[in-house]
Structure 1
Amino acid sequence: MEELMGTQRPVRRIVRPDEAIALLERAVPGLAALRRQDPAVFDWRAVEAAIGTALPSDFKSLAEWYPAFELDEFLGVCTPLPGEEDGWAKGTAEEREGGDSAYPADLRPAELASTALMSWGESTDGDQFFWSALGDDPEQWPVTVCSRNGPWWHYAGGTVQFLAELCDGTLEPWALPPVRPVITGWDAPGGGRREAV
C-alpha cells in the first residue's frame, strides 16, 4: 500500500477560470501562442451527463481556449478534442467508476481507497495527475498526484493553478522533477501532434 505524503495549499485558491488561465499564461509564456482565437465549443452538458458529475470550470475553460499540450517534454495535459468529447467522456466515466483505473483501491493510499479518481494528465515518466472527486462541488476537488516513485500527494487548488504554480516554482514538486515553463508539444488543429522546435 502506498503512502499519502500530504497536501500542499496555495496561498489563495483561485476560483475564477479566467484568473487561473492568466496566471498560467504568465507562468508559461509560450502558452499564449497556442490560444485559440475563439473558444472551442464543447457539449459539456453531455460530457458531464456521461461522466455522472460536473467538471471543474478551470479545466473546461482551459480545454476551450487551448489544445491538449505538453510541458517540458514531461507533463501532458489531456483535454478532449472539440467534436470528440464523447470518447473522452466515456474513458473518464469508466475510470471514475473504477473499471479502467490504473490504480485500483489496493494500490492506493488507504485514505484514497474509496475515492473516485479522474485523470486529467500524465507524465512521460509514468506519473499520474487526477482530480479526487470528493463531494459534489468540483470547484473544490483537490489535484491528486501519483508519482511513479510511489508517493501520492494532494494540491488544494484547481488544475490550472496547479500547473501555473508547478511551472513558476511556487509549488514544491514532491517526488516530481522540476518542470520548466516550456511548451514542447500540443495537439494540432485538424488532428495530429505538433512538437516545438
Structure 2
Amino acid sequence: MDDLVGTQAPRRRLASSDEAVVELERAVPDLASHRRPAPQSVDWRRLEGELGTALPADYKLLCEHYPSFELSGFMRVSRPVPGKEVAWVHSAHEELETIAEWCEDADLDDPMYAYPTPGGLLPWATSNQGDFFLWSTSPAGPASWTVTVASRSGSWWHYSGGAVQFLADLVSGALEPWALPRVRPEITSVRP
C-alpha cells in the first residue's frame, strides 16, 4: 500500500542558487573540499533541448562546481558529465520508465505522473536502496519546482523547496527523513 505521508516546508525557500549551495556546504562541511577551482562547463542548452525542459538553477550550479557524490553511504547526487550530456538524458529517461510504473501502481488520493506529463516527476538523485528524489515540475518554470521523495517502501512525500536546499535541510536535520534513514553530513564517495 502506497502512502502520501505529507509535505514539509523550509523555514524560508531560498530563491538564490548561491545561497542554497552555501547552505549545503554549511550542512556538509566536507563538500567544500570537493569544489572545483573553476566551474565545469556542461552544455545545458543541448541537455535541456534533449530533455525538453530547462532545469533549476540551483542544481545546475551544484553540477558545475562539484563532482557527483554520495551522502552518508546512502544518497547519490549525480551530475551530467561535460561531453556526455545526452547520456545523462538517456539515463533520466530510463529512470522515468520506473517512475511511471511507480506512479501508476501508487494508491494515492492525488495521482502523480512521470515527466513529460505537465507537472510530472523528474529524477535528480537516487539512493542505494532504490529511493527516488524527484522534481515536481511546474508550468511556472524550474525556479518554482519542488521536491518529491518516492521511497522504495511505498511512502511518498513532498518538500516545498528546491533540490539543493532539500539536501541541506535533510542533512542538517531541519526536516524529518520520512521513510528514509538519517543522512549524516559526510561525503562517502565522489565520482568525476
- Asked whether 1:160 is paired with 2:145, we answer no
Q: Which amino acid aligns with 2:112?
A: A
Identity %: 49
What does 1:1-197 align with in structure 2 at a 5 Å threshold?
Answer: 2-93=2-93, 100-104=97-101, 105-108=103-106, 109-114=108-113, 115-188=119-192
Cα deviation digits, residues 37-60 of structure 1 (max 9, x gap): 100001111111111111011000
Structure 1 distance, partners of 2:6, 2:176, is 12
TM (norm. structure 2) is 0.90
Q: Which amino acid aligns with 2:45?
A: R
How many residues align? The count is 185
70-79 vs 110-119, greater mean Cα deviation:
110-119
SS in 2 for 1:62: helix
Offset of residue 91 of structure 1: 3.1
SS in 2 for 1:111: coil
76-85 vs 27-36, greater mean Cα deviation:
76-85
Q: In the alignment, is the contact (CA less than 8 A) between 1:50 and 1:90 conserved in 2? A: no
- Any stretches of 5+ residues in structure 2 without a counterpart? 114-118
Residues 103 and 41 of structure 1: is their aligned pair in 2 closer, same or farther, counting only changes over 3 Å? same
Q: Which runs of 4+ in 1 moved over 6 A?
A: none
Structure 1 distance, partners of 2:74, 2:94, is 25
TM (norm. structure 1) is 0.88
Instruction: State the partner residue of 2:116.
Output: none
Cα deviation digits, residues 109-132 of structure 1 (max 9, x gap): 342433521111111111111111
Q: In the alignment, is the contact (CA less than 8 A) between 2:112 and 2:121 conserved in 1? A: no
Residues 29 and 143 of structure 1: is their aligned pair in 2 closer, same or farther, counting only changes over 3 Å? same
Offset of residue 93 of structure 1: 4.7
Instruction: State the partner residue of 1:194.
Output: none
CA RMSD of aligned residues (A): 1.6
